Amino acid sequence: MTSVTELETADVFDMWEILNTESDNEENLQESENKSWCVKWFLSMWAQLSLKSQDKGKAKWVVTVTVLIVILFLGLVLISVRETEKRKEVEGYPAWEEIVNQVKRIEENHSELVSVQTIGRSLEGKPIQRVSVSAKPESKGPLVWIVCGLHAREWASPLFCLHILNGLVQDLPSESELQKVTFQVVPVANPDSYVFGMSGDLENRLKRKNMADSGCSDPLHNGVDLNRNFPVGFNLSLRSLRDCTPVRGTRDLFCGCSNTYGGRQPFSEPETRVLRDALTNEPPWLLLDVHTSFGAWMTPPVSRPSRHSEHKDAWNIKFVTDFLEHNFDVSYKSGETSSVYWEMVGGTMVDWVYEELGVVRTYILELISGCKEGDDADDVCWFQFPAEIAREEVLPPAWAGLKLLVKEALRQDFKHL
């Protein structure tokens, strides 16, 4: 004859199976599998205690453990719901393959304006593409280079490059000033880690560096920060030194796990060598390096303070932030990077383009965050705020600001065009 306790135990196991089945979809299957051992252990303990309590007549044990199991279930459900919500918040960002396909469709639909070229390959062999957009492909005007996705976790950056490409093919026919320049757009400069961030565990989304082996056992922090792998001010980053650890028995420091580790030497990474060669072969008149989500339009220098009256006209971009605040009610900081960031950082692309290639009009755009007041201030929201907010609230003002910057720079530098 089946005992009351055995029936209660069976009922609880049935409850677990129902909850486990409801939660086992593609989105949270891994989380359910990882947690099930804990729940099943508690259920086993509950069954054992229940049998003991029946023998000893101590029903209070059954009640106590049942309450604990209910609390555990509720906790796991809340954790699962929260993780599902985080995943939904970043839905809508395109995978790398989708970005490649969108760029291809733009080229096919606007072949008179757009041409795509593979300028090199990443560490894992993925193509790094440059999209050229010009109203007069046969006679290139001043080159405007826009580089997105150096830091893999900043998903709004490649999304902005796609927004720019779609904006250009739409606006070029009617905006005569934009027809005077040629845009060279690199949608994803760090494709390997962008793909890594889209796969596997939620924490993979926070991968910043490339996929090189820097000797760090944590895959999330293994690799080289591509925006610290350029020669000007190489290894100057104070943050990188703070993240280093002493090597036992030596005076050396191990920095391979630092999120700002710049590599063994400048241009040690294939991704930065691709950019070096492309930018050297076709030097920009204006370059914009796109990141997120500090909310600033900035100029060089990054690795040192600016000198007195150093390119005052070209680096006065407050008119852009004033325009955005007045027309879009969007607040951005502006100024030289070393002062806006409160510290000097070495090895950046913009300092190399400015110092080595002599490009005065070199800028950094840190898109504003799309996290709303009351959102959890976690890194996922900071770098990958909801894609719908990015498309509707963040990217359109930034595109308007970029067009204004290009037009005003043209008026200053090419009065005869």
Distance from C-alpha of 282 to C-alpha of 274, rounded to nearest angstrom: 12
In this prediction, residue 20 carries a pLDDT of 47
Residue 24 confidence (pLDDT): 42
Q: Give per-residue burial for 74-90: e unless 16+ CB within 10 Å, then b.
A: eebeeebeebeebeebb
Tens digits of residue pLDDT in 179-238: 999 999 999 999 999 999 998 788 899 999 999 999 999 999 999 999 999 999 998 764
- Domains by residue range for the chain, with CATH: 4-89 (no CATH), 96-197+257-413 (3.40.630.10)
Partnered with residue 289 across adjacent β-strands are 147, 364
pLDDT range class, residue 338, cuts 50, 70, 90: confident
- Write down the pTM of the prediction: 0.79
**347 close to 287: Cβ distance less than 8 angstroms:** no
**pLDDT of residue 410 exceeding 70:** yes
Structure token pair of residue 298? 């900035």
Q: How far is Cα 335 from Cα 297, in angstroms, rounded to an integer? A: 7
pLDDT value at residue 249: 86
pLDDT tens by residue, 389-408: 999 999 999 999 999 999 99
**How large is the C-alpha radius of gyration of the chain?**
27
Residue 363: beta bridge partners?
288
Chain CA centroid to CA 292, Å: 7
Each residue's pLDDT tens digit, 32-78: 454 455 555 555 655 555 555 555 555 666 666 666 776 776 655 45
- Give the pLDDT of residue 206: 93
- The residues pairing with 335 across neighbouring beta strands, listed in sequence order, are 298
Task: Return mean pLDDT, the chain.
Answer: 84
Q: List beta partners, residue 114.
A: 133
Q: In this structure, are residues 178 and 410 in contact, taking their beta carbons and an 8 Å threshold?
A: no
Report which DSSP code applies to 236. -
Span of 93-107, 250-264, 349-363, 367-381 with lowest mean pLDDT: 367-381
Query: If we measure between CA atoms, which residue out of 293, 367, 290, 389 comes closest to residue 88?
Result: 389
- For residue 148, pLDDT beyond 60: yes
Q: Burial, 109: exposed, middle or buried (Cβ in 10 Å; 0-12, 13-18, 19+)?
A: exposed
Q: How far is CA 48 from the centre of its chain?
A: 49
| Residue 225, token pair as written in the block | 């920060």
